[in-house]
Structure formats: C-alpha cells, structure tokens
Amino acid sequence: MMTEPTVLVVDDEPEIVELMRDFLEADGFRVMTAERGEEALAALDQGSVDCVLLDVMMPGMSGFETLRHIRERGDTPILFLSARDGDADKIRGLGLGADDYVVKSATPVEVVARVKAVLRRAGGTRAATVLDFGRLVIDLTALEVRVAGSPVALTPREFELLRLLASHPRRAFGREELYERLWGDYGDRHTVTVHVARLREKIEEDMARPRLLVTVRGVG
C-alpha cells in the first residue's frame, strides 16, 4: 500500500485549518498544521512534506517571507492561499516560487483539486493513486475496485465511503462522523449502516467474519 501524501496547512485562522484538514483527510491526505511561518519551517525541518498550503497574511513572518525560506530549503510544492484576489499578490507569490495561487473564496473541493494538480505537475509525487490491500485493490484515479482480481461495481457513494475508510486503514470512524463527511445535513443516518453492509457484501469473502471492514465495538 502506498504512503499517504502529506500536506502542511499554514494558516492563523483555525476555521480555515480545520476545514482544509477535513477535506484533505477525506481525500486520502495526511495533514500537518502550523499557525505561523516559523512553525511551518520547523515542521518542514522535522519531517517529510509533499505539499504546503500557505496563507499569505499571517502574524509575524508573512507568507511571502515564509515562501522565501521554504525555497531556500528545497523545491517542495507550494500552493498560496489568500483572502485577496489581486494580481499583485499572485504575481509576487508566483515570482517568489509558489507553484499555484488560490483565493480563500474557492470551495474546499477546488483547493483539494489544486493540491492534487500541483503534486502531479511537480513530478515524483508520493500521492497514492492505488490502495492495495492484497485481495482488495482500489484505483483512486480510475475509480475502480477489484476483489481477488475481478472488478466490483460500486455506486458513487459506496466508492467514496470505501475510499475514505481505506485511506485511513488504522482509524475507526463513528457513524456520525461518516454521515457528516459523506452525506452532510440531509438524509437518514441509518444509511451509513446500510452502505457499510452493502460494501461488505461486495468485498468481503465471508460476511460473518469480515476482515476488510471491521467493526470496533463502541467506536465505529
């Protein structure tokens, strides 16, 4: 199984950080966070980061200054995130070495798509496109699932549920969290149980003894 790509989100607004964390993790990314430029540089020095989502306006070291220091350290892909939609910031950021620029008014889904695009353009990305669990193989790019070598037809919602669970193989999700991530505020929460049961029917070898989608008693 391939390693989850890591995105470092650098922003002093907790709401933005949490929102981006939710959407990036739901799409299979590992997320690190920092509120200031100094914290971002320390995080980069401590571990492997595949992409930096960097706010322009921050207290202390600005996004521009942080970008300059990151570029002194290497060529980690950087996506500039700004509340301002002006050409001046965009030109300056790209001129300093940012790989892309997106305004905060963009939807989280669009930002995640831009992160993926930056990683693809960078080449040599560690972004996981195939999740291989032996008997179960999930191709995230082709949106295909194979069990024991044979293709399995899933509905779009079933695929999204399977992708979320498979992208976090050691994490137990509660029913409420799955519902909020994949269904939002509409529908019947019982649908989570129904979809998990349908997935088990399609991917498990023995429904009575599931080995891929396992229930953790009292958790999820």
Mind listing the pLDDT tens digit for each residue in 152-179?
A: 999 888 888 898 888 777 778 888 888 8
**Cα 79 from Cα 7, distance rounded (Å):** 10
Side chain identity at residue 85, one-letter code: D
For residues 61-77, average pLDDT: 87
pLDDT of residue 197: 92
The answer to whether residues 67 and 44 touch, using CB atoms and an 8 Å cutoff, is no
* pLDDT of the residue at 124: 46
- Domains of the chain (ranges plus CATH)? 6-122 (3.40.50.2300), 130-203 (1.10.10.10)
Q: b/e for 102-137, b at 16 or more Cβ within 10 A?
A: bbbeeebeebbebbbebbeebeebebbeebeeeebb
Q: Read off the pLDDT of each residue in 4-8 and give the average, rounded to a whole number.
A: 88
- Partnered with residue 144 across adjacent β-strands are 139
What is the C-alpha to C-alpha distance for residues 104 and 88, in angstroms, rounded to an integer? 16
Q: Return the structure tokens found at 85.
A: 């939609």
> 0.85 cut: is pTM over it?
no
pLDDT over 60 (residue 126): no
pLDDT of residue 35: 93
pLDDT at residue 147, as a whole number: 93
Q: How many CA atoms lie within 13 A of 134 on its CB side?
A: 4
Distances (CA, A) of 105 to 22, 81, 184, 218: 17, 10, 20, 39
Task: Indicate the range of 37-51, 108-122, 173-187, 189-203 predicted with least confidence.
Answer: 173-187
How large is the average pLDDT for residues 8-27?
91
Confidence of residue 194 (pLDDT cuts 50, 70, 90): very high
Q: Give the mean pLDDT of the chain.
A: 84
For residue 11, pLDDT beyond 90: yes
β pairing state of 51-55 and 130-132: unpaired
Inter-residue contact 2 to 130 (CB < 8 Å): yes
- Give CA–CA dist 123/107, Å, rounded: 25
Radius of gyration, CA atoms only, the chain: 19
For residue 102, name the pLDDT band (cuts at 50, 70, 90). Answer: confident
**Would the pLDDT of 127 be above 60?**
no
Mean pLDDT across 82-101: 77
